[in-house]
């Protein structure tokens, strides 16, 4: 069976991104910017690369269809984006237990399920404009959070107030860098959404 030329590099690139992101999750309090970069790598960079490596299938098992349900994937993606951005949930006493591997796995899972709505091998939304609308609506909370981080006049997460940043910058600057990282990481999703809304790609013939 012939393997498409891009599939092997895509899977290697995806695995490399996951491995590098895992290193970045090691110390969440060292820098909000580097920690955000690691989470965004798992949530926005690795998923499309890993999904590009999948072969295009005309039919899928019922369990796969259930896991890739657009509503469930979007609710998980949006819910996680909002939940982890709430200042009250970021507590120093649980940061190393919950905000390293567990949150990293959740970010990767939600990113894979959400990006699967737009990738050729896993897409189930037939209409381009509908798929594009899902991409924009799903990515909007992340964009709003990024803008709040960049524009806020104060540090929003108290665990970072008394921490010497890895980059030797004030916590507020580190927070603004984190917002810029999140904003940039979310741009590919917005581009995909615009591409589909403008009907520049083909409709998925497997569904309506």
**Domain coordinates in residue numbering, the chain:** 7-197
Position 125 scores a pLDDT of 84
142 has pLDDT over 80? yes
187 has pLDDT over 90? yes
Q: What is the overall mean pLDDT for the chain?
A: 83
Q: What angle do CA 38, 138, 61 make, to 5 degrees?
A: 90
Average pLDDT for 43-50: 95
In this prediction, residue 94 has a pLDDT band, given cuts at 50, 70 and 90, of low
Quick one: how far is CA 186 from the chain centroid?
7
Tokens of 113: 């399920």
207 has pLDDT over 50? no
* 17 or 92, higher pLDDT: 17
CA distance 165 to 174: 7
* 197 or 164, higher pLDDT: 197
- List C-alpha distances in Å: 194 to 23, 79, 102: 33, 22, 32
CA distance 34 to 143: 18
Contact assessment for residue 192 and residue 118, using Cβ atoms and an 8 Å cutoff = yes
Position 13 scores a pLDDT of 94
- State the DSSP string of 30-65: T-HHHHHHHHHIIIIIHHHHHHHTSPP-S---HHHH
């Amino acid at each position: 069976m012939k393997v498409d030329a891009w599939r092997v590099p895509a899977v290697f690139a995806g695995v490399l991104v996951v491995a590098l992101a895992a290193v970045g999750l090691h110390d969440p309090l060292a820098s909000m910017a580097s920690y955000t970069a690691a989470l965004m790598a798992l949530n926005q960079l690795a998923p499309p690369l890993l999904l590009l490596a999948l072969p295009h299938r005309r039919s899928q098992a019922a369990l796969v269809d259930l896991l890739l349900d657009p509503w469930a994937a979007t609710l998980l993606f949006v819910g996680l984006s909002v939940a982890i951005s709430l200042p009250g949930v970021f507590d120093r006493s649980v940061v190393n237990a919950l905000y390293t591997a567990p949150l990293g796995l959740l970010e990767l899972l939600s990113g894979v399920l959400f990006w699967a709505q737009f990738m050729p091998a896993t897409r189930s939304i037939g209409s381009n404009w509908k798929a594009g609308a899902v991409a924009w609506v799903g990515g909007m909370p992340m964009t709003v959070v990024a803008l709040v981080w960049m524009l806020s006049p104060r540090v929003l997460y108290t665990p970072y107030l008394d921490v010497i940043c890895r980059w030797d910058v004030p916590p507020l600057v580190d927070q603004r860098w984190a917002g810029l990282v999140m904003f940039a990481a979310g741009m590919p999703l917005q581009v995909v959404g615009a591409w589909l809304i403008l009907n520049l790609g083909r409709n998925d013939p497997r569904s309506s």
